[in-house]
Amino acid sequence: MLSPRALILRAPGTNCDHETAFAFERAGAISRRVHIQALAERPALLDEYQIFCIPGGFSYGDDIASGRILALQLRTFLSDALERFRDRGGLILGICNGFQVLLQTSLLLHEPTIGPQATLAANTSGRFIDRWVHLETRPSRCVFLDGLGKLELPVAHAEGRFRSRSPETLTALEASGQLVLRYGLNPDGSSGNPNGSEADVAGVCDETGRVLGLMPHPERFLDALQHPALAGSTEARGRNGVGLALFTNAVRAVS
């Protein structure tokens, strides 16, 4: 059986593409980093892949707003190809900057007659945050989060505050099981929400569970030794970090 193939999109300013490609390879896929211009020139390249991922970073320097220029390119040159990819059952993952991009396209939380149903605004602190956070998954059809419960992952962003179009939109997303990943409590019982997101939302999926956007970086926790509490620990050597499970779930879902 041939290994699933994952396309990792890159653009000027993207800085997590190598780590994300490595994560998919660790999970058993064949990954390839493809520049946005190359994909725009040949959209049919998507037909060769089962997973499409927009990794983290600062695409185009986050000029105007985070992910805005890359999202515009996807809408202009690749909208039809990406919708066909999604509709044939391909998996789509957006991490951090990739999540910001997905919400500005028709691929995630988008109503045809209304537009985007949510956005990611500036952190309430007004500062860039870079730390580990406690997370909780919610029961859903999201294939990426299958079998995961409470976990820790690092975040690194300035615009990660989830905001829905309206209270009614948030209620509808909750009812449909699309608010799949939340910031949990810190060990001392205080809120672990680092950016002020509504309902502590850290990640959302589409109605099929095959398109996921999340602010935390699973590709930065593939090995247990990458956790700050375990760095240098002999017990952690050879153990996987929980982030790897997300990529393993994706590869398994298309195998």
**Which among 16, 53, 96, 142 is annotated as catalytic?**
96
| Gap between the Cα atoms of 82 and 208, Å rounded | 15
The CB density around residue 254, as the number of other CB atoms within 10 Å, is 18
**Which among 16, 53, 219, 227 is annotated as catalytic?**
219
Residue 96 among the catalytic residues: yes
Beta-sheet strands, E only, within 40-128: 51-54, 91-95, 110-111, 115-116, 118-121
Cα 233 to Cα 43, 77, 99, 238, 242, distances in angstroms: 46, 48, 33, 11, 16
Please give the backbone phi and psi of residue 2, each rounded to the nearest 5 degrees, phi first: -75, 145
Q: Do 8 and 55 touch, CB atoms closer than 8 A? A: yes
Residue 219 among the catalytic residues: yes
Provide the angle, in degrees to the nearest 10, between the axes of the packed helices 17-26 and 243-253: 60
As annotated, the active-site residues are 96, 217, 219
